Structure 1
Amino acid sequence: MPSDQAEHLVRSRQHALETGELKDYPQVSVGKKEAGAKQQQQQAQKSFNPVPTETAADASGDVRTMRRRLAESLYLVVRGGAGAAAAGGGGSSGAGTGGWDFPAVAHKEGESISDTAQRALASAIGRAHPVLFIGAAPMAHLRAQPKGTTFFLLAQAIDDPWDVRLAAGAAASEFAWVTKQELLGSYLGDARMRELVAKML
């Protein structure tokens, strides 16, 4: 920096200090106590070991627990007659063919779509687990062939992870907690359902 500019900066700073536009604070030296605390913090950061996101269920391939794929969202699917196909909605497979579907039941007259969705979930895993349905309106629908429509509502588990069991008398014979990629990979056999899930979730 040229000497005239340096002198100008010094004079400007001195003037600002004299007029009160600038305040000159004393330099604060770090004491032994503060230095020790900072050193402890640095040591703690070096020794920090994050909790692994891979669980025993991931290692064993157990899909019947929510204690898996901790970094991803999981979705409940059932197999054996309580899914969208069995409810007449054209799910991943025809009723009785053993394919995986989201829990579903046929709509009853006078029942709201939200009530039907809650009954569908309860028919698969009972009502012992707290669930928050996100809104009362469906997030998507799929027209069945030759007739009928399946509506999809999103629900969020509260106080998870749960230890889920099929409800007594449930039409489903199996359940699984799977990721979106797993749904699109090997769980949903119907092309229309896979296309819907790819957009919906």
Structure 2
Amino acid sequence: MSLKFGWYKTPVPGDREDKQLPHARIIPQGTLDTKYMCKMIATSSTISSADVKGVLEALNFWMGFYLSEGNSIELDGLGHFTPTLKSRVKTDENGKNKVVAEADSVSFRCANSLKEQIREAGLELVKKDKQQKLTPEQRAENILSHVKAQMSVNCSTSMRINHCTRYTALNDLKELMDAGKLIRIGHGKQTAYIRPYE
């Protein structure tokens, strides 16, 4: 078990001398969805994948319920969840500005035990290939081949199989959607792309 990473040049202003200062960046290996994680948990426990999914759905519901009442929640081995607010300026009907508070999101502080698992992981340096950049047509073909074999693809996987940036991967996926060859499902980190329904 190891984290794959590469060295990348850090952009710096032109008047600085340390122009070649590198930084390490993890190379994404894909996004694992709820279905996959339920299956993995089921293989190492005595409950079924469906039961695991049911527990996660119940956990999500009750966490939302208690967080919305102003409670914080701490889950052993996972982390600490706290509701957060944001403030913004709002203009009333008289044209006067006033600051209003709104419920915003959930703050997450990772548990130390989970951090330690990551810190103890090995590191594997992946050297950049000196190969030529793929054409848009070649990248599209790689994406469609992956979808045909694996049923779906996400942005991280597109970046990995085509050795490209996130911007390029998202643009490739958008063009395939515009061409009617892919459709998008899910949202946020759970976004995936599949072939259109027949």
Which of 1 and 2 has greater Rg?
A: 1
Asked whether the two chains share a fold, i.e. TM above 0.5, the reply is: no
TM-score bracket for the superposition, by shorter chain length: under 0.3
The structure with the greater share of residues assigned to strand is 2
The structure with the greater share of residues assigned to helix is 2
TM-score (norm 1): 0.22
TM-score (norm 2): 0.23
